[in-house]
Amino acid sequence: MQMILQERIKEVVKAKTYEKIPDLLTSFDQARQNPNPFSFLSTFSQMSRTQVIDEILQSFIPLRPRSRPQVAYACLLSYTLENPNPLPLSLVVLQRTLRSGCVPVPQTHLALSSVWLKHYHHEAHSIQDILKEMKSIGYNPDCGTCNYLISSLCAVDQLTEGVKVLKGMAGAGCIPDSESYDTVIKAMCNGRKTSEALDMIKQMVQKVGLTPRQGTLVKIAAALRANREMWRAVEMIEFLEKEGHVIGFESYELVVEGCLERGEYILAGKVVVGMTNKGFLPYIGVRQKLVERLAGIGEWKLACDVRQRFAELQS
């Protein structure tokens, strides 16, 4: 049956009636099995193969619903990633897949990262060169494609390579967005690399002018708390507030709890003052512990101040 499917697709390719491919693939239950239904393209020259895949992708753009070619995209992406010359064609297929709203199969992360590492390291191509090669076949690198590549590298513990892609995007005419930084920073936090995460936050805010996502700030606050770096956590909050960025309740709460755990009661009190200025009220257990600890070290004025603020917010 698989050979029948491949013959049908060969006929479609020969007739250039590419719009028939999605329905043809979905009509065969075994379309995803080996051999890949597009494997016959390996008999074409590199130039002809690239041209045919480009024509196929372009023919899918007007199809509705946009997810209709999902199986076709999956097969094409698998085929190009397994090809001896996977880049930049696999990035082009990935781009069209993502722009259609389709989600690549989970195994794509491993396959793409493996291909990228081999192509980048073993063949000594620069990141900019690989991305710019997309332009040679009529496609421009975009954030969606690069972000998927970054997430693929981070997913297989290749954070350093993910950072290189992030830094190389601008040189290829693709400016990183919040998701680009978010993916890298979260990976840094997972490895408790707080210094690198804080540096990345400063880069995205000061150099690129982006606003960090609240989830990213929570991740950093949690990592700083786990590393017992509460002064740095407070400095991060102060830096972001000075730059005009909003800090959410959860980030504040994590920092206050971390300060209490470390015995930094005065620091916790100062964070709570800023927190209440934004209208946030800490959890009751944190409120009680903070007031008790401040009173216990003789900081009566600060204890009374924070208790008064709690009362005002509760009224």
**208-232 per-position pLDDT tens digit:** 999 999 999 999 999 999 999 999 9
Q: Residue 171: its pLDDT value, please?
A: 82
Q: What is the pTM of this model?
A: 0.91
Q: What pLDDT shows up at residue 153? A: 96
The parent domain of residue 73 ranges over 1-140
**Residues whose CB falls within 8 Å of the CB of residue 204, separated by 6 or more in sequence, listed in order:** 176, 178, 181, 210, 212
The residue-averaged pLDDT of 166-190 equals 92
> What is the distance between the alpha carbons of residues 233 and 220, in angstroms, rounded to a whole number?
8
Residue 249 counted as domain residue: no
pLDDT band at 85 (very low <50, low <70, confident <90, very high): confident
d(CA 144, CA 299): 52
137/50 Cα distance (integer angstroms)? 8
Residue 66: inside a domain, yes or no?
Answer: yes
**Domain for residue 197, yes or no?**
no
| 35-51 pLDDT per residue, tens | 889 999 999 999 999 99
Distance from C-alpha of 262 to C-alpha of 272, rounded to nearest angstrom? 15
pLDDT for residue 26 is more than 90 = no
pLDDT band of residue 89 (cuts 50, 70, 90) is very high
Average pLDDT (21-35) is 76
**Burial annotation 93-107 (CB, 10 A radius, 16+ → b, else e):** bbbbbbebebebeee
Find out whether 306 and 294 touch, Cβ atoms under 8 Å.
yes
Q: Which are the contacts of 9, defined by CB distance < 8 A and separation ≥ 6?
A: 21, 24, 25, 37, 38, 40
Rounded to whole angstroms, how far apart are CA atoms 214 and 103? 24
Rounded CA gap, 205 and 290, in Å?
A: 32
Establish if 242 belongs to a structural domain.
no
Amino acid in the structure at residue 30: Q
Does a structural domain hold residue 8? yes
pLDDT of residue 185: 97
Range with the poorest average pLDDT among 29-38, 58-67, 145-154, 225-234: 29-38
Look at residues 145, 151, 183, 150 and name the one whose alpha carbon lies nearest to residue 164: 150
* Domain presence at residue 284: no
At residue 118, the pLDDT reads 86
44 falls within a domain: yes
Over 70: is that where the pLDDT of 233 sits?
yes
Span of 64-78, 168-182, 231-245 with lowest mean pLDDT: 168-182
Domain-embedded: residue 74? yes
Domain count, the chain: 1
